């Protein structure tokens, strides 16, 4: 057998195998991602990520991932870890980046480097309950990419736009997703 075709660290043969398998049996594309969280003290809490469902079965991760969140001192925490809205930026940055990388690989475009910086605006009057007009979350988020690729300069903007076009977290932020919050007794 020939060596697998690897572009940007993505096994493109496997990627097209996956695409073809999903075309035949769309049910294998149904994924359920999971997390548990335990409050520690004040703004400090810990999320654990252990397994997910996909391709019609449960998959354990190689290890249990633990993600601590805290608030900085100006927001009355101890600054032990990023805060939740910073985790939201990390999720967005990682997802838009991976979407660029995977979709560029599928198009045969070799990337040399991808870097980004993000900034998002929050007016705490929302969280503090001081105004009904001020949103509690991000009013706007801006992402700026620097990309070096084996592609002409005029192609780079097209490559960057693969991110927002396909990224699940970009879609989660920019579309109104139903989130149900329930008390379990």
- Residue numbers 25-64 binding a second copy by CB under 8 A: 26, 29-39, 41-45, 47, 49, 52, 54-55, 59, 61-62
Q: Which is nearer to a second copy, 1 or 9 (CB)?
A: 9
Q: Which is nearer to a second copy, 109 or 114 (CB)?
A: 114
Q: How far is the CB of 64 from a second copy (least distance, A)?
A: 10
Q: What is the DSSP string of 133-177?
A: SS-SS-SEEEEEEEEEESS-HHHHHHHHHHHHHH-HHHHHHHS--
* Closest-CA residue to 52 (of 65, 41, 39): 65
Q: Does 109 bind a second copy (CB under 8 A)?
A: no
Among 110, 132, 141, 149, binds a second copy (CB under 8 A): 141
Q: Does 184 bind a second copy (CB under 8 A)?
A: yes
Q: Which residues contact 128 (CB under 8 A, 6 or more apart)?
A: none
Window 150-169: residues binding a second copy (CB under 8 A): 156-157, 160-161, 163-164, 166-169
């Amino acid at each position: 057998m020939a060596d697998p075709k690897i572009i940007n660290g993505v096994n493109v043969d496997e990627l097209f195998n996956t695409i073809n398998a999903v075309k035949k049996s769309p049910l294998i594309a149904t994924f359920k991602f999971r997390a548990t969280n335990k409050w520690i003290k004040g703004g400090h809490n810990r999320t654990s990520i252990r397994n997910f469902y996909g391709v019609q079965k449960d998959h354990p991760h190689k290890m249990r991932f633990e993600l601590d969140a805290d608030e900085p001192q100006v927001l009355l925490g101890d600054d032990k870890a990023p805060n939740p809205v910073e985790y939201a930026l990390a999720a967005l940055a990682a997802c838009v980046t991976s979407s660029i990388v995977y979709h560029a690989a599928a198009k045969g475009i070799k990337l040399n480097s991808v870097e980004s910086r993000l900034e998002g605006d929050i007016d705490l009057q929302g969280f503090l309950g001081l105004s009904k007009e001020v949103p509690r979350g991000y009013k706007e988020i801006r992402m700026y990419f620097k990309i070096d690729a084996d592609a002409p300069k005029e192609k780079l903007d097209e490559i960057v736009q693969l991110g927002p076009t396909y990224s699940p977290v970009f879609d989660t932020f920019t579309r109104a997703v139903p989130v149900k919050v329930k008390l379990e007794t």
